[in-house]
Amino acid sequence: MRGGFREYLNQSTSLMLAAGEAIGQGLMDAAVDLVVTALSGGKPLLVCGNGGSASDAMHITAELVGRFLVERRPLNVICLSENPAFLTAWSNDCGYETVFARQVEAHGEPGAVLLALSTSGQSKNIVTALERARSLGMRTIALTGEGGGQLGALADCLLVVPSRSTPLIQQVHVCMYHYLCQCIEERILGAG
Protein backbone atom coordinates (compact mmCIF):
# COMPACT_ATOMS: atom_id res chain seq x y z
CA MET A 1 0.00 0.00 0.00
CA ARG A 2 1.35 3.37 -0.99
CA GLY A 3 1.91 5.73 1.93
CA GLY A 4 0.16 4.61 5.05
CA PHE A 5 -2.86 5.35 7.18
CA ARG A 6 -1.75 8.87 8.04
CA GLU A 7 -1.15 9.66 4.35
CA TYR A 8 -4.59 8.31 3.47
CA LEU A 9 -6.15 10.56 6.11
CA ASN A 10 -4.16 13.51 4.79
CA GLN A 11 -5.47 12.85 1.26
CA SER A 12 -9.01 12.60 2.61
CA THR A 13 -8.69 15.82 4.58
CA SER A 14 -7.17 17.70 1.64
CA LEU A 15 -10.02 16.60 -0.62
CA MET A 16 -12.66 17.59 1.93
CA LEU A 17 -11.16 21.07 2.14
CA ALA A 18 -10.91 21.31 -1.66
CA ALA A 19 -14.56 20.25 -1.98
CA GLY A 20 -15.57 22.94 0.49
CA GLU A 21 -13.86 25.54 -1.69
CA ALA A 22 -15.20 24.13 -4.96
CA ILE A 23 -18.81 23.77 -3.83
CA GLY A 24 -19.15 26.72 -1.48
CA GLN A 25 -21.86 27.64 0.98
CA GLY A 26 -24.22 29.07 -1.62
CA LEU A 27 -24.57 25.82 -3.53
CA MET A 28 -25.12 23.82 -0.34
CA ASP A 29 -27.76 26.34 0.75
CA ALA A 30 -29.45 26.00 -2.64
CA ALA A 31 -29.67 22.21 -2.20
CA VAL A 32 -31.14 22.62 1.28
CA ASP A 33 -33.68 25.14 -0.07
CA LEU A 34 -34.84 22.72 -2.77
CA VAL A 35 -35.42 19.91 -0.27
CA VAL A 36 -37.04 22.05 2.42
CA THR A 37 -39.39 23.66 -0.12
CA ALA A 38 -40.49 20.24 -1.35
CA LEU A 39 -40.93 18.65 2.08
CA SER A 40 -42.68 21.72 3.51
CA GLY A 41 -45.08 21.61 0.56
CA GLY A 42 -45.97 17.97 1.16
CA LYS A 43 -43.83 16.71 -1.73
CA PRO A 44 -41.42 13.78 -1.37
CA LEU A 45 -37.64 13.65 -1.54
CA LEU A 46 -36.53 10.61 -3.57
CA VAL A 47 -32.94 9.38 -3.18
CA CYS A 48 -30.94 6.92 -5.30
CA GLY A 49 -27.45 5.61 -6.03
CA ASN A 50 -25.58 2.44 -7.06
CA GLY A 51 -23.23 0.29 -4.98
CA GLY A 52 -21.73 2.30 -2.12
CA SER A 53 -23.88 5.23 -3.20
CA ALA A 54 -26.97 3.00 -2.79
CA SER A 55 -25.92 2.53 0.82
CA ASP A 56 -25.50 6.30 1.09
CA ALA A 57 -29.01 6.75 -0.31
CA MET A 58 -30.35 4.44 2.39
CA HIS A 59 -28.32 6.31 5.02
CA ILE A 60 -29.75 9.69 3.96
CA THR A 61 -33.27 8.29 4.00
CA ALA A 62 -32.79 6.78 7.46
CA GLU A 63 -31.55 10.10 8.86
CA LEU A 64 -34.48 12.06 7.47
CA VAL A 65 -37.31 9.58 8.05
CA GLY A 66 -35.99 8.77 11.52
CA ARG A 67 -34.02 11.59 13.01
CA PHE A 68 -30.60 13.11 12.53
CA LEU A 69 -29.78 15.09 15.67
CA VAL A 70 -33.13 15.98 17.26
CA GLU A 71 -36.56 14.49 17.81
CA ARG A 72 -39.05 15.66 15.19
CA ARG A 73 -41.76 14.41 12.87
CA PRO A 74 -40.68 11.93 10.16
CA LEU A 75 -39.99 13.42 6.75
CA ASN A 76 -41.37 12.11 3.45
CA VAL A 77 -38.16 10.63 2.04
CA ILE A 78 -38.05 7.50 -0.14
CA CYS A 79 -34.93 5.53 -1.02
CA LEU A 80 -35.19 4.07 -4.53
CA SER A 81 -32.43 1.52 -3.98
CA GLU A 82 -33.79 -0.33 -0.95
CA ASN A 83 -36.41 -2.69 -2.38
CA PRO A 84 -34.53 -5.77 -3.63
CA ALA A 85 -37.68 -7.48 -4.90
CA PHE A 86 -38.50 -4.57 -7.22
CA LEU A 87 -34.87 -3.92 -8.17
CA THR A 88 -34.23 -7.51 -9.22
CA ALA A 89 -37.61 -8.07 -10.90
CA TRP A 90 -37.53 -4.86 -12.94
CA SER A 91 -33.85 -5.29 -13.83
CA ASN A 92 -34.46 -8.85 -14.98
CA ASP A 93 -37.66 -8.16 -16.90
CA CYS A 94 -37.11 -4.64 -18.25
CA GLY A 95 -33.49 -3.63 -17.70
CA TYR A 96 -31.36 -1.98 -15.07
CA GLU A 97 -31.15 1.34 -16.93
CA THR A 98 -34.73 2.24 -15.98
CA VAL A 99 -34.87 0.76 -12.47
CA PHE A 100 -34.84 4.19 -10.78
CA ALA A 101 -36.80 6.04 -13.48
CA ARG A 102 -39.68 3.59 -13.00
CA GLN A 103 -39.80 4.41 -9.30
CA VAL A 104 -39.57 8.13 -10.02
CA GLU A 105 -42.71 7.64 -12.13
CA ALA A 106 -44.41 5.91 -9.19
CA HIS A 107 -43.47 8.35 -6.43
CA GLY A 108 -42.51 11.57 -8.19
CA GLU A 109 -44.65 14.60 -8.91
CA PRO A 110 -44.18 18.26 -9.77
CA GLY A 111 -42.44 20.02 -6.89
CA ALA A 112 -40.82 16.87 -5.54
CA VAL A 113 -37.02 16.48 -5.47
CA LEU A 114 -34.72 13.69 -6.66
CA LEU A 115 -31.34 13.51 -4.90
CA ALA A 116 -28.95 11.25 -6.83
CA LEU A 117 -25.45 10.07 -5.96
CA SER A 118 -22.98 8.96 -8.64
CA THR A 119 -19.24 9.33 -8.23
CA SER A 120 -18.77 9.38 -12.02
CA GLY A 121 -21.94 11.25 -12.91
CA GLN A 122 -22.29 8.76 -15.77
CA SER A 123 -24.38 5.93 -14.30
CA LYS A 124 -27.03 5.29 -16.95
CA ASN A 125 -29.78 4.39 -14.47
CA ILE A 126 -29.10 7.59 -12.51
CA VAL A 127 -29.02 9.70 -15.70
CA THR A 128 -32.33 8.15 -16.79
CA ALA A 129 -33.87 8.82 -13.37
CA LEU A 130 -32.93 12.52 -13.52
CA GLU A 131 -34.28 12.78 -17.05
CA ARG A 132 -37.59 11.28 -15.91
CA ALA A 133 -37.73 13.51 -12.82
CA ARG A 134 -37.24 16.63 -14.92
CA SER A 135 -39.97 15.51 -17.33
CA LEU A 136 -42.35 15.29 -14.35
CA GLY A 137 -41.54 18.80 -13.15
CA MET A 138 -39.35 17.67 -10.27
CA ARG A 139 -36.22 19.45 -9.09
CA THR A 140 -32.93 17.53 -9.08
CA ILE A 141 -29.78 17.47 -6.95
CA ALA A 142 -26.71 15.41 -7.87
CA LEU A 143 -23.67 14.55 -5.77
CA THR A 144 -20.85 13.53 -8.12
CA GLY A 145 -17.12 13.48 -8.65
CA GLU A 146 -14.89 15.59 -10.85
CA GLY A 147 -16.58 17.02 -13.92
CA GLY A 148 -20.11 16.00 -12.94
CA GLY A 149 -20.49 13.70 -15.95
CA GLN A 150 -23.84 13.60 -17.74
CA LEU A 151 -25.59 14.61 -14.52
CA GLY A 152 -24.07 18.06 -14.86
CA ALA A 153 -26.62 18.99 -17.52
CA LEU A 154 -29.55 17.44 -15.64
CA ALA A 155 -29.10 18.66 -12.07
CA ASP A 156 -30.67 21.87 -10.83
CA CYS A 157 -28.07 21.73 -8.08
CA LEU A 158 -24.79 19.97 -8.91
CA LEU A 159 -22.45 19.26 -5.97
CA VAL A 160 -19.11 18.14 -7.43
CA VAL A 161 -16.23 16.68 -5.42
CA PRO A 162 -13.02 17.58 -7.32
CA SER A 163 -11.59 14.06 -7.56
CA ARG A 164 -11.80 10.88 -9.67
CA SER A 165 -11.09 8.54 -6.74
CA THR A 166 -14.35 6.73 -5.97
CA PRO A 167 -13.60 5.98 -2.28
CA LEU A 168 -12.40 9.51 -1.59
CA ILE A 169 -15.42 11.01 -3.36
CA GLN A 170 -17.74 8.82 -1.30
CA GLN A 171 -16.04 9.94 1.92
CA VAL A 172 -16.73 13.56 1.03
CA HIS A 173 -20.30 12.69 0.02
CA VAL A 174 -20.90 11.41 3.57
CA CYS A 175 -19.82 14.78 4.99
CA MET A 176 -21.92 16.61 2.43
CA TYR A 177 -25.13 14.72 3.08
CA HIS A 178 -24.67 14.79 6.85
CA TYR A 179 -24.45 18.56 6.53
CA LEU A 180 -27.54 18.61 4.29
CA CYS A 181 -29.45 16.46 6.81
CA GLN A 182 -28.49 18.78 9.66
CA CYS A 183 -29.58 21.89 7.75
CA ILE A 184 -32.81 20.30 6.50
CA GLU A 185 -33.69 19.20 10.02
CA GLU A 186 -32.97 22.67 11.46
CA ARG A 187 -35.03 24.41 8.76
CA ILE A 188 -37.97 21.99 9.08
CA LEU A 189 -38.02 22.43 12.85
CA GLY A 190 -37.79 26.20 12.48
CA ALA A 191 -40.73 26.17 10.09
CA GLY A 192 -42.81 23.90 12.31
Beta bridge partners of 116: 48, 142
Q: Which domain holds residue 151?
A: 5-191
In tens, the pLDDT along 17-44 reads: 999 999 999 999 999 999 999 999 999 9
**Phi/psi at 117 (nearest 5 deg)?**
-115, 125
DSSP assignment of 76-143: -EEETT--HHHHHHHHHHT-GGGHHHHHHHHH--TT-EEEEE-SSS--HHHHHHHHHHHHTT-EEEEE
pLDDT of 63: 98
CATH code, domain with 158? 3.40.50.10490
Query: For 1-10, 52-61, 122-131, which range has the lowest pLDDT when averaged over its residues?
Result: 1-10
C-alpha–C-alpha distance, residues 23 and 161, integer Å: 8
Number of independent structural domains in the chain? 1
Q: Do 74 and 65 touch, CB atoms closer than 8 A?
A: yes
> How many Å apart are CA 74 and CA 44, to the nearest integer?
12
Given pLDDT bands bounded at 50, 70 and 90, which one contains residue 1?
low
Q: Cα separation of 20 and 30, whole Å?
A: 15
Dihedral, CA of residue 163, residue 182, residue 188 and residue 26, to nearest 10:
-40
Return the axis-axis angle of helices 52-65 and 166-191, rounded to nearest 10°: 10
Model confidence band, residue 78 (pLDDT cutoffs 50, 70, 90): very high
**What percent of the chain is modeled with pLDDT above 70?**
98
